[in-house]
């Protein structure tokens, strides 16, 4: 079936599109830079590569077209004749032949100019040879404009054709227009063929599929056929004639006795006799349609004899149906399928392949032993076994009978223990011991626990009736109240301590290892460094001493002293430390440099801060991969 899948044929480009595809691929896939200063061997190789690459591209595209389109002489005769009817075999072969000739001409041009390029003595001459080669190839392809356009139209029509397998099980529905062929196909398959009350609604072959006996069948609805000579039939009718002539199928010829189709019964019989030679060796069904309007029993004697005369041939049978009331539709379908199956099996038995099948089959026969014949037989028990009858009183009770007796589905529970194979059947429903920590739980259960529980419940009910639980609770004494207050304060204190510990845990700093602390600078190193910079080393000594000395517990200052101290600290901080990034810088130049570096480092973060999620970031206005190695707008003679 994959051999006749015409939908996989690739699109055939026009002549101009063909040239654009090939030449742009040559420009993209081959080097584009060459200079007069290069060696002449390198220049020759540069242009030879372009010529050979272009030739290969043309041949590859033309080969793909020639291989995709079916060959008239290598496909099934049904498709060969169908394509001849639809597209004209001579025109189709001529178009493919012209493309094949163009492929050979392009190959010859490429080889000739590649040979001439070997003798090029300058960049200019090599370039001119390359231009001449590509120009001749382009001219050859432009001459194929009509062939390419024709093949594209053929491809589009082929892709719309139904996928018909010529070798599978097939039913062909044929007859005059408007006799009920499409209605029958819509009933027996999942196809949706247009049905209208006028002739020639179906203008091409339609295929539907169905299942019968777990096999896939295809039903072909053919356009209507008129009774006139073969040479007068048009393209629509010739499609039906082609299907009838070439497909191994069961032919179902429809006849409308009511003559609502617009043609008399005599004309329909005449059409059957004229096309009968096309399917003389195939199983044929004479289908009388629209029996809801007119049946065969209701027609006159002359007409009945005319129709019955068609049944004289051995492989012709008749059936009646009505697609309006669905009467006889399935019976007709089944009868046609059975006839086709029998015909296919009979043809296979007559063929030469049956010997290969029989050679793989072996029937084993028991050998004679002890002088006793042992012919094949069926056991008496199997013969005496009756089919299950729910009304038979002697039948064996099944599980579903027990289910019905005990409440039906949803109520009945299957007894899984009745089939246990134990030494004693009385053990089937014993409680399975529950073992926990190596001991049986049942051994530790009080056997009188049920009675004791009932006694407790009675005692509880009696106390409730007497109002024992309704008495007011005695007030707590002073000792219990003091204990509760103490416990409450302890819980509050623990909560405060836990919260402080959680806060301190988040602010802890890492502890440096001993090796790192040994390598750190000492106070003497700091003094020497400050002295080399011209600063007073006593500042660091006093600062370190003030930090290392434990603070003394001072007396609590008065309110006035506290306010004065806070004001002095604030003034000193405002006057000295205005910007922490400027602390420790010796000159104004250093401070300006630091400020500039700070602004530069913050610029990218400030730009990112102003961007939103939907902002489009263009990192580079000229991406390198789009502009490197490309030709400019100047002259190209140097190439």
- At 88-126, the pLDDT tens digits run 889 999 999 999 999 999 999 999 999 999 999 999 999
What length is written for the chain?
Answer: 639
pLDDT of 498 strictly over 80: yes
pLDDT of 462 strictly over 80: yes
Residue pair 274/307 in contact (Cβ under 8 Å)? The answer is no
pLDDT of 552 strictly over 60: no
Task: Report the pLDDT value the prediction gives residue 635, as an integer from 0 to 100.
Answer: 62
Distance separating alpha carbons of residues 387 and 246, to the nearest angstrom: 49
Distance separating alpha carbons of residues 205 and 188, to the nearest angstrom: 17
Confidence of residue 607 (pLDDT cuts 50, 70, 90): confident
What tokens does 405 get? 């007796």
- At 125-157, the pLDDT tens digits run 999 999 999 999 999 999 999 999 999 999 998
Distance separating alpha carbons of residues 500 and 496, to the nearest angstrom: 6
pTM beyond cutoff 0.85? no
Selection from 164, 202, 211, 169 nearest residue 183 by Cα: 202
**Between 28 and 526, residue with greater pLDDT:** 28
What tokens does 38 get? 């290069």
Tokens 């140097």 belong to residue: 638
Selection from 69, 87, 72, 76 nearest residue 238 by Cα: 87
Contacts of 212 (CB under 8 A, 6+ apart): 333, 334, 337
**Between 511 and 129, residue with greater pLDDT:** 129
**Between 627 and 476, residue with greater pLDDT:** 627
Mean pLDDT estimate for the chain: 82
Tokens 């030679």 belong to residue: 277
Confidence of residue 636 (pLDDT cuts 50, 70, 90): low
Task: Report the pLDDT value the prediction gives residue 460, as an integer from 0 to 100.
Answer: 85
Distance separating alpha carbons of residues 201 and 185, to the nearest angstrom: 14
First to last CA, the chain: 52
Residue pair 244/174 in contact (Cβ under 8 Å)? The answer is yes
How many CA atoms does the CB half-sphere of 83 hold within 13 Å? Answer: 24
Q: What is the mean pLDDT of residues 544-554?
A: 52
**Between 260 and 565, residue with greater pLDDT:** 260
Report long-range pairs for 261-269 (Cβ below 8 Å, ≥24 apart).
261/176, 261/177, 261/178, 261/179, 261/199, 262/177, 262/178, 262/199, 263/176, 265/299, 265/303, 265/306, 265/307, 266/306, 267/176, 267/227, 268/175, 268/176, 268/179, 269/306, 269/307, 269/309, 269/310
- At 30-84, the pLDDT tens digits run 988 888 889 999 999 999 999 999 999 999 999 999 998 988 888 888 888 888 8
- At 573-606, the pLDDT tens digits run 454 445 666 777 778 888 889 889 988 988 887 7
Task: Report the pLDDT value the prediction gives residue 526, as an integer from 0 to 100.
Answer: 75
Of 487-496, 532-541, 604-613, the poorest mean pLDDT is in: 532-541
Phi, psi angles (nearest 5°) of residue 481: -65, -40
Of 132-136, 164-168, 557-561, 595-599, the poorest mean pLDDT is in: 557-561
Q: Which domains does the chain have, with CATH numbers?
A: 2-157 (1.20.120.1190), 163-349 (3.40.50.300)
**Between 392 and 548, residue with greater pLDDT:** 392
Instruction: Please give the torsion angle defined by the CA atoms of residues 551, 554, 560 and 562, in that order, rounded to the nearest 10 degrees.
Output: 20
Task: Report the pLDDT value the prediction gives residue 233, as an integer from 0 to 100.
Answer: 81
pLDDT of 513 strictly over 80: no
Count helices and strands (H / E) in the chain. 22, 8
Of 10-19, 384-393, 439-448, 616-625, the poorest mean pLDDT is in: 384-393
Percent of the chain whose predicted confidence (pLDDT) is above 70: 83
Instruction: Assign 85 to helix, strand or coil.
Output: helix
Q: What is the mean pLDDT of residues 557-572?
A: 60
Confidence of residue 1 (pLDDT cuts 50, 70, 90): very low
- The DSSP annotation for 142-156 comes to HTTHHHHHHHHHHHH
Q: What is the mean pLDDT of residues 605-612?
A: 72
Task: Report the pLDDT value the prediction gives residue 57, as an integer from 0 to 100.
Answer: 95
Instruction: Assign 256 to helix, strand or coil.
Output: strand
Contacts of 68 (CB under 8 A, 6+ apart): 8, 9, 10
Task: Report the pLDDT value the prediction gives residue 2, as an integer from 0 to 100.
Answer: 42
How many CA atoms does the CB half-sphere of 429 hold within 13 Å? Answer: 3
Distance separating alpha carbons of residues 366 and 363, to the nearest angstrom: 10
Contacts of 248 (CB under 8 A, 6+ apart): 166, 167, 170, 282, 344
Percent of the chain whose predicted confidence (pLDDT) is above 90: 23
**Between 3 and 492, residue with greater pLDDT:** 492
- At 331-370, the pLDDT tens digits run 999 999 999 999 888 888 887 777 777 788 887 777 778 8
- Listed in sequence order, the DSSP H helices in 143-210 are 145-160, 181-188
pLDDT of 387 strictly over 80: no
- Listed in sequence order, the DSSP H helices in 295-419 are 301-308, 329-350, 354-359, 380-384, 399-405
Instruction: Assign 175 to helix, strand or coil.
Output: strand
């Amino acid at each position: 079936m994959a051999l006749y899948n015409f939908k996989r044929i690739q699109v055939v480009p026009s002549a101009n599109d063909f040239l654009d595809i090939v030449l742009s691929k040559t420009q993209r896939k081959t080097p584009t830079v060459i200079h007069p200063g290069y060696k002449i061997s390198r220049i020759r190789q540069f242009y030879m590569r372009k010529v050979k690459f272009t030739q290969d591209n043309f041949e590859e595209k033309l080969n793909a077209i020639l291989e995709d389109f079916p060959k008239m002489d290598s496909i099934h005769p049904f498709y060969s004749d169908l394509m001849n009817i639809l597209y004209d075999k001579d025109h189709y072969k001529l178009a493919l032949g012209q493309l094949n000739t163009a492929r050979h001409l392009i190959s010859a041009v490429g080889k000739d100019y590649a040979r001439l390029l070997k003798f090029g003595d300058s960049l200019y001459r090599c370039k001119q040879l390359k231009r001449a080669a590509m120009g001749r190839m382009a001219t050859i392809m432009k001459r194929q404009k009509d062939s390419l356009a024709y093949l594209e139209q053929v491809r589009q029509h082929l892709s719309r054709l139904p996928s018909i397998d010529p070798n599978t099980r097939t039913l062909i529905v044929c007859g005059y227009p408007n006799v009920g062929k499409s209605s029958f196909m819509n009933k027996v398959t999942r196809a949706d063929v247009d049905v209208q009350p006028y002739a020639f609604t179906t203008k091409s072959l339609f295929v539907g599929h169905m299942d019968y006996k777990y096999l896939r069948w295809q039903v072909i609805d053919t356009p209507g056929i008129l009774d006139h000579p073969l040479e007068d039939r048009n393209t629509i009718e010739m499609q039906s004639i082609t299907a009838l002539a070439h497909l191994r199928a069961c032919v179902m010829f429809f006849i409308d006795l009511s003559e609502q189709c617009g043609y008399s019964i005599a004309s329909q019989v005449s059409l059957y006799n004229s096309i009968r030679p096309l399917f003389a060796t195939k199983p044929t069904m004479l289908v009388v349609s629209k029996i809801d309007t007119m049946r065969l029993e209701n027609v006159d004697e002359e007409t009945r004899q005319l129709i019955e005369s068609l049944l004289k041939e051995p492989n012709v049978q008749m059936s009646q149906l009505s697609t309006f009331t669905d009467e006889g539709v399935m019976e007709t379908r089944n009868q046609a399928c059975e006839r086709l199956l029998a015909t296919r099996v009979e043809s296979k038995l007559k063929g030469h392949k049956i010997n290969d099948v029989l050679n793989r089959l072996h029937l084993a026969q028991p050998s004679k032993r002890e002088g006793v014949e042992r012919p094949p037989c069926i056991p008496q028990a199997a013969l005496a076994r009756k089919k299950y009858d729910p009304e038979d009183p002697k039948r064996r009770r099944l599980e579903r009978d027990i289910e019905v007796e005990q409440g039906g589905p949803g109520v009945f529970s299957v007894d899984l223990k009745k089939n246990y194979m134990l030494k004693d059947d009385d053990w089937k429903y014993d409680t399975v011991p529950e073992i926990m920590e190596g001991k049986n739980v049942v051994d530790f259960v009080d056997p009188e626990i049920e009675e004791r529980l009932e006694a407790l419940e009675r005692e509880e009910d009696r106390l409730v009736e007497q109002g024992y639980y309704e008495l007011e609770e005695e007030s707590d004494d002073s000792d219990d109240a003091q204990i509760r207050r103490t416990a409450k304060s302890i819980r509050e204190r623990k909560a405060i301590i836990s919260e402080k510990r959680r806060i301190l845990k988040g602010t802890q700093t890492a502890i440096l290892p001993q090796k790192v602390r040994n390598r750190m600078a000492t106070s003497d190193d700091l003094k020497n460094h400050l002295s080399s910079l011209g600063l007073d080393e006593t500042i660091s000594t006093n600062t370190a001493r003030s930090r290392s000395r434990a603070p003394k517990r001072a007396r609590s200052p008065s309110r006035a002293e506290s306010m004065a101290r806070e004001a002095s600290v604030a003034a000193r901080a405002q006057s000295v430390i205005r910007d922490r990034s400027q602390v420790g810088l010796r000159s104004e130049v250093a401070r300006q440099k630091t400020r500039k570096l700070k602004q530069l480092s913050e610029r990218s973060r400030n730009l990112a801060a102003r961007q939103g999620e939907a902002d489009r970031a263009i990192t580079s206005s000229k991406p390198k991969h789009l502009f490197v190695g490309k030709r400019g707008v100047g002259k190209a003679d140097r190439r």
